[in-house]
A and B are shown apart, each in its own frame.
Chain A
Amino acid sequence: MPAAPAIATPAIRAENVCRHYRMGETLIRAVDGVSLEVRSGEFVALLGASGSGKSSVLNLLAGLDRPTAGSVVVQGRDLARLSREELAHYRLHTVGMVFQSFNLIPSMTVAENVELPLRFAEVNRAERDGMTGAALARVGLQSRVNHRPSELSGGEQQRVALARALINRPQLLLADEPTGNLDSRTGTEIMNMVREFNLQLGMTVVMVTHERALAERYAERLIHLADGKLVRNEGNVPAAADPLSTASEGSRA
């Protein structure tokens, strides 16, 4: 192994990662010895049945959770060695997250939700306004800045979440079933945007899904989990070879 030089430095390398929960006498192995590598700029899908540990793996990559064993190294940094404060900094600047349930703050307007990470990053107001405008333009929501999330459709809410995820220009986009709550047409719109970020902004994407079809359409690699273990790791040629020109045009209409 040391003889083989890496073609590209991996963006993510997880080695024998475990996340065990102790519930009284029983030990729940949510993640049980997963090793995986994700190249910089790669689009990877995490597949598996419900309860197989997909979200748990994603949270470990996001630095929201710490593994009970093993290591997660993202861009040369071992997350296990980072302090709580450093982990927050990592989440703020390196990672963008999107969730199935959008996770927007209901009391804030669209613009306020999008600019929230900039407040944590202590970006001053004038700069913030410009960046928020640009991010919302990228997801085609310039006209809804002052609306509350509850006034938007599911697809629109997920677009707000996408704008928020990319506002701090992270290298890593972690998406947990981003289309799970959307109909297939809206889901496709969202997926096309994710793919656009992947190709145009060079963001590394790790997406959790249990829809094999969706994964095969967009991801370059499919990683299958079962009972917290990695069971299959297969390469894939995305079906949507160049969906950008058509699909993303449509999503902005």
Chain B
Amino acid sequence: MKLTDLTELALRNLRESILRNSLTTVGISVGVASLVAMLSLGIGLQQLASRRLMKSGLFDTIVVTSRREPRNFGHDEDRNAPAPADSRLLDEPSRLELDRLPNVIEANPDIRFATELRYDDKPHLTTVAALPESSKSTDAFESIQGHFFTSDTAPEAILQKSFAAELLGRPHAPGADETNVAELAAPLLGKDLIMSYAQREAPQNGSAATAAVTHGNSSSAANMDPAASYSVVSRQQKLKIVGVVDLDPESMRGPTRGRVFVPLKLAESLHVMQPTDLRELSSSSGDQTLYSSVSVRVKDPAQIRATEDAIKKMGFNTFSILDATRSLQQFFAVLDLFLGIFGSLALAVASIGIVNTLVMAILERRREIGIMKAIGASDVDVKKLFFAEAGAMGILGGFVGVALGWAIGHVINLGTNIYLKRQSLPPEHFWSVPWWLVGAAILFSLVVSLVAGLYPAARAARLDPVQALRYE
């Protein structure tokens, strides 16, 4: 029989006992809906997680250090050994070169220094870290009190919550973490901080032989090569407090925590002396700024390995959290599998409904099958007809089920967002029904229905027409 005739006959047969077939189809729809709901939840959560992680800067950042910088302090004996031949200084030209690599958005020096900040005429020792403008979009600043730096050179500061508490003289008790950021920020925003720091200055002509190291370590000063010396001058910088953050944005990027943040360009212009300056004295030309590390942000985290390899080839050490993404993907693959199995279970139950409906239809339509065979229908024709009925229920149930699953997901998403709003948390989109899932769900429903139709169809085809026609 032709496909058009099969479809026509199948649909008319389904219409004949509309209630029973509708109920069966509803069963399939519910199965498909639960499958779609489960899988789209899994996919949505995965997308949410990777979106979050991308924003955290955890997975799109490579931290680049010079090979001369001993990363592992256990290897003290190697410290004065000659550096590898291809090792390079992490200076401004290197940074520019990193910046120009394919797949790289930006390469920013990690400037971090310990210094004294005066607030309300009281000194506080802390670590200051520089933030590039791109940090603005990381989720650490999503819940900022106040605002991000007005420009990359503005003399402004953003405080970490714990430091804000310290400035206000509130002891940081463990467990008292629930302090409201807004409460801390209110008295601080707009106030000034005075930052005292050591500025590194290029040597002036004539006075090259002696360097004034104000806060330096005397042994380093003694080892200094007189030709490559510089002076260190004590300076002060006024900073306006513009924001207070809850999260420590630096915890995501580098090994050292900062408690006060300043704009990157401002930090660079201050030429604050950093630990690297002293360590690299022997080999540096003296007038070059050296960076202890440079954070490279990549466009496509999937290609982070290629970018890392390229940077290694340039002669630097790299560090990224590549493997973490991989295990995360593994976790979601397992999650999807489990959600999929649960979803499929409902569909499997629904397929038993198909078997039941079709077997009932055979009993009911015994005579009809006998008639069809008597007037020339082959076994294959009868089989195909029952298959077509199962398939039609499968496709119909698939379409209705996808729509239903999509609607259920939407309602869950909506409900959760209302809940999140009540908890004054930002709304989240953790629900995703990609097109491939729509197609796959309908196809899966069709396949399951056809498999369910196998037995009834074979049974209908085997029916003996003489017996079927024998009695009224």
Chain A interface residues (CB < 8 Å from chain B): 59, 62, 64-65, 84-85, 88-89, 91-93, 95, 97, 99, 101, 103-105, 107-108, 116-117, 119-122, 125, 164-165, 168
Q: How far is the CB of B380 from chain A (nearest CB, A)?
A: 7
Q: How far is the CB of A162 from chain B (nearest CB, A)?
A: 12
Cβ contact of A119, chosen from B1, B13, B367, B472, cutoff 8 A: B1
Report if A103-B12 is in contact (Cβ < 8 Å); known contacts: A59-B466, A92-B376. Answer: no
Report if A85-B379 is in contact (Cβ < 8 Å); known contacts: A64-B466, A107-B12. Answer: yes
Contacts of B367 in A (CB 8 A): 103
Report if A62-B2 is in contact (Cβ < 8 Å); known contacts: A84-B379, A120-B381. Answer: no
Contacts of A65 in B (CB 8 A): 466
Q: How far is the CB of B390 from chain A (nearest CB, A)?
A: 18
Asked if residues B1 and A103 are in contact (CB atoms below 8 Å), the reply is no
The CA of A67 and the CA of B177, in the complex, are separated in Å by: 92
Is B359's beta carbon under 8 Å from chain A? Answer: no
Asked if residues A64 and B465 are in contact (CB atoms below 8 Å), the reply is yes
Q: How far is the CB of B157 from chain A (nearest CB, A)?
A: 82
The CA of A59 and the CA of B13, in the complex, are separated in Å by: 28
Report if A88-B379 is in contact (Cβ < 8 Å); known contacts: A64-B465, A103-B374. Answer: yes
Residue of A nearest to B16 (CB): A107
Is B368's beta carbon under 8 Å from chain A? Answer: yes
Asked if residues A116 and B373 are in contact (CB atoms below 8 Å), the reply is no
The CA of A108 and the CA of B2, in the complex, are separated in Å by: 18
The CA of A125 and the CA of B378, in the complex, are separated in Å by: 20
The CA of A84 and the CA of B377, in the complex, are separated in Å by: 11
Contact with A along B370-403 (1 / 0, CB 8 A): 1111111111110000000000000000000000
Report if A168-B376 is in contact (Cβ < 8 Å); known contacts: A59-B466, A64-B465, A65-B466. Answer: yes
The CA of A119 and the CA of B370, in the complex, are separated in Å by: 16
Report if A119-B374 is in contact (Cβ < 8 Å); known contacts: A65-B466, A85-B380, A99-B469. Answer: no
Q: Which of B371, B372, B376, B377 has the most CB of A within 10 A?
A: B376
Cβ contact of A89, chosen from B16, B378, B469, cutoff 8 A: B378
Q: How far is the CB of B142 from chain A (nearest CB, A)?
A: 64
Interface class of chain B by DSSP: helix
Asked if residues B1 and A116 are in contact (CB atoms below 8 Å), the reply is no
Report if A120-B375 is in contact (Cβ < 8 Å); known contacts: A59-B466, A64-B466, A103-B469. Answer: yes
Asked if residues B465 and A120 are in contact (CB atoms below 8 Å), the reply is no
The CA of A108 and the CA of B8, in the complex, are separated in Å by: 12
Contacts of A95 in B (CB 8 A): 376
Cβ contact of A164, chosen from B370, B375, B379, B469, cutoff 8 A: B375
The CA of A92 and the CA of B9, in the complex, are separated in Å by: 18
Report if A107-B13 is in contact (Cβ < 8 Å); known contacts: A84-B379, A99-B469, A120-B381. Answer: yes
Asked if residues A88 and B373 are in contact (CB atoms below 8 Å), the reply is yes
Q: Which of A65, A103, A121 has the most CB of B within 10 A?
A: A103
Contact with A along B6-49 (1 / 0, CB 8 A): 00010011001000000000000000000000000000000000
Q: How far is the CB of B266 from chain A (nearest CB, A)?
A: 81
What's the count of A-B pairs with C-beta under 8 Å? Answer: 72
Asked if residues B1 and A85 are in contact (CB atoms below 8 Å), the reply is no
Cβ contact of A105, chosen from B368, B379, B465, cutoff 8 A: B368
Is B5's beta carbon under 8 Å from chain A? Answer: yes
Asked if residues B375 and A92 are in contact (CB atoms below 8 Å), the reply is yes
List 15 interface pairs A-B (beta carbons < 8 Å), by A numbering. Answer: A62-B374, A64-B466, A64-B469, A84-B378, A85-B380, A88-B378, A88-B381, A91-B373, A91-B375, A101-B472, A103-B469, A105-B371, A119-B2, A120-B381, A122-B2
Contacts of B13 in A (CB 8 A): 107
Contacts of B377 in A (CB 8 A): 88, 92, 120
Contacts of B371 in A (CB 8 A): 103-105
Report if A97-B16 is in contact (Cβ < 8 Å); known contacts: A64-B466, A103-B469, A119-B5. Answer: no
Residue of A nearest to B374 (CB): A97
Report if A91-B16 is in contact (Cβ < 8 Å); known contacts: A119-B5, A122-B2. Answer: no
The CA of A214 and the CA of B445, in the complex, are separated in Å by: 57
Contacts of B2 in A (CB 8 A): 119, 122
Asked if residues B376 and A88 are in contact (CB atoms below 8 Å), the reply is yes
Q: Which of B12, B372, B378, B380 has the most CB of A within 10 A?
A: B378
Contacts of A122 in B (CB 8 A): 1-2, 5
Contacts of B380 in A (CB 8 A): 85
Residue of A nearest to B5 (CB): A119
Residue of A nearest to B471 (CB): A101
The CA of A101 and the CA of B466, in the complex, are separated in Å by: 14
Q: How far is the CB of A89 from chain B (nearest CB, A)?
A: 7
Contacts of A85 in B (CB 8 A): 378-380
Q: How far is the CB of B226 from chain A (nearest CB, A)?
A: 103
Q: How far is the CB of A58 from chain B (nearest CB, A)?
A: 10
The CA of A160 and the CA of B303, in the complex, are separated in Å by: 74
Q: How far is the CB of A224 from chain B (nearest CB, A)?
A: 23
Contacts of B12 in A (CB 8 A): 107-108
Contacts of A107 in B (CB 8 A): 12-13, 16, 368
Additional A-B contact list (16), CB under 8 Å, known A65-B466, A117-B375: A64-B374, A84-B378, A85-B380, A89-B376, A92-B375, A92-B378, A93-B376, A95-B376, A104-B371, A105-B368, A107-B368, A119-B1, A120-B376, A120-B377, A122-B5, A125-B4
Contacts of B16 in A (CB 8 A): 107
Residue of B nearest to A106 (CB): B368
